[in-house]
Amino acid sequence: MDQLNSKVPQGKLEEKWDKYQANAKLINPANKRKLNIIVVGSGLAGAGAAATLAELGYHVDCFCFQDSPRRAHSVAAQGGINASKNYRHDGDSVWRMFYDTLKGGDFRSREANVYRLAQLSAPLIDHFTAQGVPFAREYGGVLSNRSFGGVQVERTFYARGQTGQQLLVAAYSQLSKMVEAKKVSMYTRHEMLELVVIDGKARGIITRNLVTGEIRAHNAHAVVLATGGYSRVFRLSTLAIGCNGSAIWKAHKKGAFFAAPSFTQIHPTALPQSSESQSKLTLMSESLRNDGRIWVPKNKDEKRKANEIPEDQRDYYLERRYPSYGNLAPRDISSRAAKERIDAGHGVGPLKNAVYLDFKDAIKRLGIQTIKDRYGNLFSMYKKITGIDAYQEPMLISPAAHFSMGGLWVDYELMTTINGLYAIGEANYSDHGANRLGANSLLQASIDGYFILPNTINNYLADIVKEEVPSIDHPEFQKSINEVRAHIDRLLSIDGKKTVDHFHRELGNIMWKECAMSRNQEGLIHAISKIKDIKKDFWKEVKVTGHDKEFNQELEKALRLADFLELALLMCEDALQRNESCGAHFREEYQSSDGEAQRNDEDYSYVSAWKYLSEDKFELVREQLIFEYVKPTVRSYK
Amino acid sequence: MKINFKIWRQENIQTKGAFRDYQLDGINEDMSLLEAIDFLNEKLVLQGEKVIAFDYDCREGICGQCGIFVNGRAHGPHDNVTTCQVHMRSFKEGETIVLEPWRAKAFPIVKDLVVDRSAFDRIIQKGGFISAGTGSAPEANSILIGKKEADKAMDAAACIGCGACVATCKNSSASLFTASKINHLDHLPQGRIESYDRTISMVKQMELEDFGACSFTGGCEIECPQSISISQIARMNNLFMKALLKKE
């Protein structure tokens, strides 16, 4: 069996990162100029990495499928970014943030990585401030904070309800600066369709120009995947429509292990689905839970409007079940608690699939102006979509598929199991364990891109600095190009009777039902066989119109869905293998009498890293998690 | 509901385009306009036709990628929203909805309703950043910024780069976009250091990209999904004049 080497440095937890940096290899500036790095994806992780690597002197080729790097889905993270600055003097520290994150992830992440995440959070805020992110400020000029789910201190920095947008714009600005300096070659509307591995090393990628259809090879000394999450496998999710798992899936098929694929965060505060025709679900920032109170009517057949239901007939179920965290209980717990109430018949809204998020008390306590200042754009967005004024009546919210904690397995250096292939941001599995705390995603993406990767990649490059990168005429590049072309031709030639969206809806339905908020053995076995059927049908019956040498969005969708159909199988296999409940992974067979998750540290304290064998065969390789500094405890928010 | 669509179809930048009519039944009024086009596209595929190309991504009104001219208005019938936030309940049963791409010389048509807005990226590349390297930042609270000033920076920074301001402007001016970026950074002490150079080079690039001049008709602020005020343009012009004087 393959062995996984996490490369976690020896020594005290607090000193690991410093020690790593002190011992890492360096490359002199003259040699850096000769090295070329490919960065796929231009969100917070990708743009940060591309800009910083270029600043360091490397040449970078950066790719994104959108029309501009400033569109990457990082824009949609509204609420904030965590940093342990302890500006509020409320007892925050690197250790506390590390502990909150490790516990939030239900002790399924690596101690050393999580500690580094907390450690680098403070300088990251300095960095973004210097780049001109207009973070919220107090009247005296200092930075303002609020709190998020899963924590009891105020460590979240924010820029109105546009934090992700503003951080991304900052990263995009830095990237633009390096494009102008000709250190970064930016390829917009390009999608990576294959990874090229030669002699065990990542040597380049194959892309499709989405406007012209041109298939092209690009070579490099190292490849960095910063392609975000894959929750569009559920079809309805909070992710942008273009988000996909293709790049990491192709890398997986070429030898990169895929870790914890089934750990998907279900966000508790999305807008409820209103019809089958919906293309996505809209997220309302979790920051709303800071001041909003969540409730459902005690009476199942409640017909009255929310405001007409008296206090004693409301069930503030989060405050009832989790008195110390209340409405700030972590996402997995809040989502499951909502599902429990909805399933029990207390759901509200036209389809009875939502719960109330009420600001009445907050408005009474703080005044409408403060609420407008804090969440104004979220309230207006809510009104645009639903036509409801949430200053007057409670919002309707519902759980939705959101962040994928799973992704390519990476070591402490963020390198995958393929030499020279790195995965950063949501594309990797590293810091969040089985559940990500709110406002930690922007943080992880940013530190991976700005601070960690630019330090760790040298260690690999220093060894190959004298190696000649195989040219794109190398047979392996040509072989990959031919495979990509054949794959596209096969799709276009099917000319069946069903649309790509039809298959995506089918896949989404089964994944949402059997592999989302809660899972059980029977359902997962059923899902696996069903997905195989859908996949078979897809390759027989899908219809994609148009051709390959043009801007063809139907073809783009079909290519992504073909990968989702394979990835979905692995997600179900992973969920089936883990006979315990932890974080976002709730196996119905493993719960306490009061419905709380039952973790099994004795048998499952490991990261599941899957090796690809064939389209429906995967081999499990375990990375045992060693907790030297924190003793895993039962994760209670009561 | 039943809707008639009149949609601009154009293979690519080299070919000529024209409107085509489509009738669509079974639309749900909760669908967004983009979902209605998805619905139409599924029908087209089943008929063996090519889908209508249009830009979209987040469908939450924030990424700025979607952008369609709807019944003669950028982003549709409402003020200050993106196209993805327009719902079919905004239209009447049996109505004819005319969809066409942003029309501006600086935004060449890629296909159907999709345009190339890379001119915006090139304006940013000319100075829409603060030259701060990674890893060299001072402690964040050592740069004090009063709430009012920080709020002003945020008001300008809210621009999502969708291009509605250009599309609605009779001169195809990119002034609101460029002003937003310039003012965002100029409101911050860390950005002010490069302000004059930034302003001159970004304004120059805007002109080089074939955007027209601003004649203060104010359409841009009505269509801007982030309600960015036209006063941003006045502020940019003021800054530009100062920058020119300073340069001399």
DSSP codes joined into one string, A561-602: HHHHHHHHHHHHHHHHH--S-BTTB-BTTSB-TTS-B---HH
Residue A549 DSSP symbol: S
| Mean per-residue pLDDT, A119-139 | 97
pLDDT confidence tier of residue A147, bands split at 50, 70 and 90:
confident
Query: What pLDDT was estimated at residue A318?
Result: 96
Query: Rounded to an integer, what distance in angstroms lies between the CA atom of residue A102 and that of residue A436?
Result: 9
pLDDT confidence tier of residue A523, bands split at 50, 70 and 90:
very high
Query: What pLDDT was estimated at residue A255?
Result: 98
Residue A285 predicted with pLDDT over 90:
no
A70-79 core/surface letters (b: 16 or more CB in 10 A; e: else): bbbbbbbbbb
Q: Which of B53, B89, B188 sits opposite A553 (nearest CB)?
A: B53
Residue A597 predicted with pLDDT over 60:
yes
Instruction: Tell if the CB–CB gap between B190 and A499 is shorter than 8 Å.
Output: no
Query: Rounded to an integer, what distance in angstroms lies between the CA atom of residue B53 and that of residue B41?
Result: 9
**Residue B83 contacts A where some CB pair is shorter than 8 Å:** no
Higher pLDDT, B28 or A51: A51
With vertex at residue A368, the alpha carbon angle to CA A367 and CA A374, rounded to the nearest 5 degrees, is 100
Query: What pLDDT was estimated at residue A149?
Result: 67
Instruction: Tell if the CB–CB gap between A52 and B134 is shorter than 8 Å.
Output: yes
Query: What pLDDT was estimated at residue B245?
Result: 95
What is the bridge-based pairing of β-strands A215-219 and A201-209?
antiparallel
Query: Rounded to an integer, what distance in angstroms lies between the CA atom of residue A557 and that of residue A549?
Result: 16
Query: Could you tell me if B214 and B171 are in contact, meaning their C-beta atoms sit under 8 angstroms apart?
Result: yes
pLDDT tens-digit series, residues B59-96: 989 999 999 999 999 999 999 999 999 999 999 999 99
Query: What pLDDT was estimated at residue A151?
Result: 78
By percentage, how much of chain A surpasses pLDDT 70?
99
Rounded to the nearest 10°, the torsion over CA A286, A288, A290, A292 is -130
**Residue B169 contacts A where some CB pair is shorter than 8 Å:** no
Pick from A402, A448, A403: which is nearest to A425 by CA?
A: A448
Query: What pLDDT was estimated at residue A385?
Result: 83
Kindly report the number of other CB atoms within 10 A of residue A615's CB atom.
12
Query: What pLDDT was estimated at residue A152?
Result: 83
Task: Using only the alpha carbons of chain A, give its radius of gyration.
Answer: 24
DSSP labels for B21-66? EEEE----TTSBHHHHHHHHHHHHHHTTPPPPP---S--SS-S---
> Could you list the active site residues of A?
331
Query: Could you tell me if A520 and A587 are in contact, meaning their C-beta atoms sit under 8 angstroms apart?
Result: yes
Query: What pLDDT was estimated at residue A160?
Result: 87
Interface with chain B: mutation pick from A131, A191, A212, A374, highest number of B CBs within 10 Å: A131
What residues in B contact A67, CB-CB < 8 Å? 55, 65, 116-118
Closest chain A CA to residue B182: A132
Query: Rounded to an integer, what distance in angstroms lies between the CA atom of residue A127 and that of residue A255?
Result: 35
Q: Is A128 helix (H, G, I), strand (E, B) or coil?
A: helix
Residue A148 predicted with pLDDT over 80:
no
Top-confidence range, A53-67, A133-147, A586-600? A53-67
What residues in A contact B208, CB-CB < 8 Å? none
Interface with chain A: mutation pick from B11, B60, B89, B130, highest number of A CBs within 10 Å: B60
What residues in A contact B28, CB-CB < 8 Å? 275, 277
Query: What pLDDT was estimated at residue A427?
Result: 98
In the A/B pair of chains, how many CB contacts fall below 8 A? 224
Instruction: Tell if the CB–CB gap between B138 and A126 is shorter than 8 Å.
Output: yes
Query: Rounded to an integer, what distance in angstroms lies between the CA atom of residue A461 and that of residue A478?
Result: 25
Residue found by looking up tokens 């239901």 in the block: A309
Q: Which of A130, A138, A179 sits opposite B138 (nearest CB)?
A: A130
Instruction: Tell if the CB–CB gap between A136 and B131 is shorter than 8 Å.
Output: no
**CB contact set of A616 (below 8 Å; sequence gap of 6+):** A532, A569
Q: Is A416 helix (H, G, I), strand (E, B) or coil?
A: coil
Query: What pLDDT was estimated at residue A150?
Result: 67
Least confident window among A82-91, A200-209, B198-207, B229-238: A82-91
| Mean per-residue pLDDT, A2-23 | 95
Least confident window among A274-283, A498-507, A516-525, B101-110: A274-283
**Residue B128 contacts A where some CB pair is shorter than 8 Å:** yes
Instruction: Tell if the CB–CB gap between A176 and B125 is shorter than 8 Å.
Output: yes
Residue found by looking up tokens 């993406």 in the block: A445
Query: Could you tell me if A519 and A527 are in contact, meaning their C-beta atoms sit under 8 angstroms apart?
Result: no
What residues in A contact B185, CB-CB < 8 Å? 132
Interface with chain A: mutation pick from B3, B87, B110, B129, highest number of A CBs within 10 Å: B129
pLDDT confidence tier of residue B145, bands split at 50, 70 and 90:
very high
What residues in B contact A85, CB-CB < 8 Å? 140
Sheet containing strand B18-24, edge to edge, reads B18-24, B3-9, B96-100, B69-70, B73-74
Residue A355 predicted with pLDDT over 90:
yes
Least confident window among A287-296, A547-556, B206-215: A287-296
Instruction: Tell if the CB–CB gap between B134 and A279 is shorter than 8 Å.
Output: no
Q: Is A202 left (phi over 0), alpha (psi -120 to 50) or beta?
A: beta
Instruction: Tell if the CB–CB gap between B137 and A130 is shorter than 8 Å.
Output: yes
Residue B248 predicted with pLDDT over 80:
no
Instruction: Tell if the CB–CB gap between B30 and A275 is shorter than 8 Å.
Output: yes
pLDDT tens-digit series, residues B170-218: 999 999 999 999 999 999 999 999 999 999 999 999 999 999 999 999 9
What residues in B contact A141, CB-CB < 8 Å? 144-147
| Mean per-residue pLDDT, A356-384 | 91
| Mean per-residue pLDDT, A270-274 | 90
**CB contact set of A3 (below 8 Å; sequence gap of 6+):** A621
Query: Rounded to an integer, what distance in angstroms lies between the CA atom of residue A272 and that of residue A397?
Result: 6
Give CB contacts under 8 A, 24+ apart, made by A361-367: A361/A293, A362/A291, A362/A292, A362/A293, A363/A391, A366/A291
Interface with chain B: mutation pick from A86, A178, A277, highest number of B CBs within 10 Å: A277
Is the ipTM beyond the 0.95 threshold?
yes
Kindly report the number of other CB atoms within 10 A of residue B246's CB atom.
12
